[in-house]
Amino acid sequence: MPKHKKNALNPAIMRSLQSDPVAYTSHLLERSYESSILDQMVDQDVTEFDAICVSGINSEDNTGAGASEHAAKIQAGSLKIIIMPKTGVRKPPELKGLTDPSVVNFRISIMSTNPHYVAYSDYPFASMQSPQFGQIVKCYYASKDPDNPIIYFKKDEGTAMIEPGYETLGALEGVPAASQFFENGRASLLGQPSSTSSNADIAALAKRFDNENSTYKKANSKKISQAHPEFQSYIKAFIIKCKDAKIKISLNSTHRSRASQDRLIAEYNAGTRKIKPASKSYHLVGLAFDFNPLLPSGNWVSSKKSKQTWINSGVPAIGESLGLRWGGHFSTNYDPIHFDLGKKVSKTRMGQMIAEANKKNVEGTQIPTGQEV
């Protein structure tokens, strides 16, 4: 049998440790990211290579302002991102296809501290659009020092693509910092903090909405009835939790037909709409809602308000406590009046639902999510 190089990953050992997240990730740390990195990573014959941006997995905020451990950061006028090399260099252990939260958390955190997996924009941050999680970026070496290489990435000229298989990873939110990996002796769950409401909690809150009077209930009930049947209880729970915080919610939209979505895109292209609607949207399958909150102060919070103003209102925390994904974290399309079920129904699955609805010539709300929501 061939012998394994010191510090290289032994497949047999890796398989034996897969049932123990702590031992598994510790072994990765000891073997994959020690001295083997220094003599394997830098290919002296390669100058330019493709890489996948893996910053912003939990927040979709790569603007440099995100507080997340895994978001992009501004450093000396450039944007610093975490990258997964695709070509030209030896790759670290893959992220695509992973389902073990402890392994995903571990790999991105370790990559974020290793110069072989960090790249800087080669132009001023203010002049660029932030790359998205999963986006392929063009990188090149400014220095090939094997101990401390310097890597830059180029500005997207409108041809950026998302690496296949990263859509599912991109739907995972709430990746904790490295110090939070092992709470109470076990790996923490991606996007499922202990404060997240259970399905039973959501059902109980939804029942309260049905039984109690609330502001805008008639109008809100009409909008809720248009949403996906599997999502309606989430909207009701959100309104009731806001009610308990003395915040009144007025829904703007839930499900949108393809014709309605195309009209919004046309309005954006004509310059009459600020926020660009996605060609594939959770609204198209009724798994999203837009709203306006009226605070106890008597003030409405509009989509033009800053992210910090929204956070201070407490509304984002209420939605996220229900396992909802907040549009205020979107890196390329700030949309604070938006929540969707992207944490539980992946972007890939959402696209499949849209395709199936189009094929059957029905609304997306008639296609089951196929997930436990």
Least confident of 43-52, 138-147, 188-197, 230-239: 188-197
Q: How many CB atoms lie within 10 A of CB 20?
A: 14
Distance CA 283, CA 275 (A): 14
* Residue with the larger pLDDT of the pair 205 and 126: 205
CA distances from 101 to 88, 107, 180, 229 (A): 28, 10, 12, 29
Over the stretch 50-81, which tens digit does the pLDDT of each residue have?
A: 999 988 776 666 777 666 677 888 887 888 99
- pLDDT of res. 35: 41
Task: Say which residue the tokens 């009930």 belong to.
Answer: 221
**Nearest one of 159, 197, 175 to 109, comparing CA atoms:** 175
Output Rg (C-alpha) for the chain, integer angstroms. 22
CA angle 315, 319, 321 (to 5 degrees): 115
Average pLDDT value for residue range 12-31: 59
What does the pLDDT look like over 198-229, one tens digit per residue? 889 999 999 999 999 999 999 999 999 999 99
Angle at 351 between CA 285 and CA 230, to 5 degrees: 35
> From CA 342, how far away is CA 338, in angstroms rounded?
11
Q: The tokens of 50 are what?
A: 């493709």
pLDDT in tens, 135-194: 899 999 888 887 788 999 998 876 778 888 776 676 554 444 333 333 333 333 333 333
Record the tokens describing residue 104, joined without a space: 């995903």
Span 305-325, average pLDDT = 91
Locate the DSSP E strands across the chain.
48-53, 73-75, 78-85, 118-121, 136-143, 150-153, 182-183, 186-187, 248-253, 288-294, 325-326, 338-340
Residues 261-294: tens digit of each pLDDT = 778 778 888 887 766 666 678 999 999 999 999 9
What domains can be seen in the chain, in order of their start residue?
41-187 (no CATH), 199-366 (3.30.1380.10)
The share of the chain scoring above pLDDT 70, in percent, equals 71
Question: Using 50, 70 and 90 to split pLDDT, how confident is the model at 329?
Answer: confident
Residue among 110, 68, 81 nearest 326 (CA): 68
Question: In terms of DSSP bridges, do strands 288-294 and 325-326 run parallel, antiparallel, or are they unpaired?
Answer: unpaired
Amino acid, single-letter form, for residue 20: D
Give the pair of three-digit tokens for residue 318.
């209420």
CA angle 241, 243, 245 (to 5 degrees): 75
* 292-309 confidence digits (pLDDT tens): 999 998 899 998 888 889
What pTM was computed for the model? 0.51
Distance CA 195, CA 322 (A): 9
